[in-house]
Amino acid sequence: MTLATIASSKLGRPNLVAALLGAAGLLASSLASAQTFAAGAITPTGLPLEPLLSLELPAQAQLGQILSVAIRLDQPFAGRAADDVFLFYGFKLDFDPSQLRFKGFGAAEGWSDDSGFLRPGEIGASNFPGVAAAAAQSWLSLGALQFELLSAGEAWLQISSPEGDLNLGLGYAQGASNLPIDWRGSLQVSAVPEPGALAMTLAGLLGLGLVQRRRVLGQNK
């Protein structure tokens, strides 16, 4: 006896047909809703992507170096309306002052540095009339931060925007509130060789060069 026969005997054929039609309708509705977003705008979890502001850090740097850290916005219009416009951004900058010394901020071309209008420790810039979603850019370069590396080891950086702050976050023409910013990263800072060790290394290289030169001269005689 098949499952359909069992179901028919328990529910009756009209009830079975109605149940099957209902299930088919539910499946069709689910498939239609799943096609609301383009395939490229879906994450593995099935949720639409969102704009992500981050800092581009190298894997490693050297003590005493002046480091330029680019500010980047990926997927600037993910989940936004096709006629939306990106206008400004702002964030609170945190780091360990024993590891890093902040040297300054430079906004990208076309952007105005608004940091002077914000609270100490906050960075921001604006662009009017703004960057339109119609430009279909997959990422934006928004500026750069400069730091002097003060100590060896792991140095960390963090940028964030408190919820409800009208001056911080990602600001769009369409939207009741700014999108939040929450990112943290780190890099490994290596120590600079001591002057004595560096001098010994240079002397060794010079000695090897002299020995090689004498060998060449000896072969040419």
We report the CATH number of the domain holding residue 68 as 2.60.40.680
- 9 & 75 share domain: no
**Residues 209, 197 contacting (CB under 8 angstroms):** no
- 21 & 111 share domain: no
Percentage, residues of the chain above pLDDT 70:
65
Per the DSSP assignment, residues forming a β-bridge with 67 are 147
| DSSP structure class, residue 164 | T
Residue 47 lies in a domain: no
Residue 219 lies in a domain: no
Residue 146 CA to residue 69 CA, distance in Å, equals: 6
- 7 & 106 share domain: no
CB neighbourhood size of 13 (10 A): 11
Residue 131 CA to residue 110 CA, distance in Å, equals: 10
- 62 & 169 share domain: yes
80-108: string of b/e by CB count within 10 Å (b at 16+)? beeebbbbbbbbbbebeeebbeeeebebe
Predicted local confidence at residue 199, as pLDDT: 52
Predicted local confidence at residue 63, as pLDDT: 96
Predicted local confidence at residue 36, as pLDDT: 34
- 97 & 177 share domain: yes
Predicted local confidence at residue 6, as pLDDT: 34
Residues of the chain with pLDDT under 50: 1-43, 47, 194, 196-197, 211
The count of structural domains within the chain is 2
Structure tokens at 135: 């430009």
- 136 & 107 share domain: yes
Q: Residue 18 is part of which domain span?
A: 3-34
- 98 & 177 share domain: yes
Alpha-carbon Rg for the chain, nearest whole angstrom, is 30
106: phi > 0 → left, psi -120 to 50 → alpha, else beta; which?
beta
- 110 & 22 share domain: no
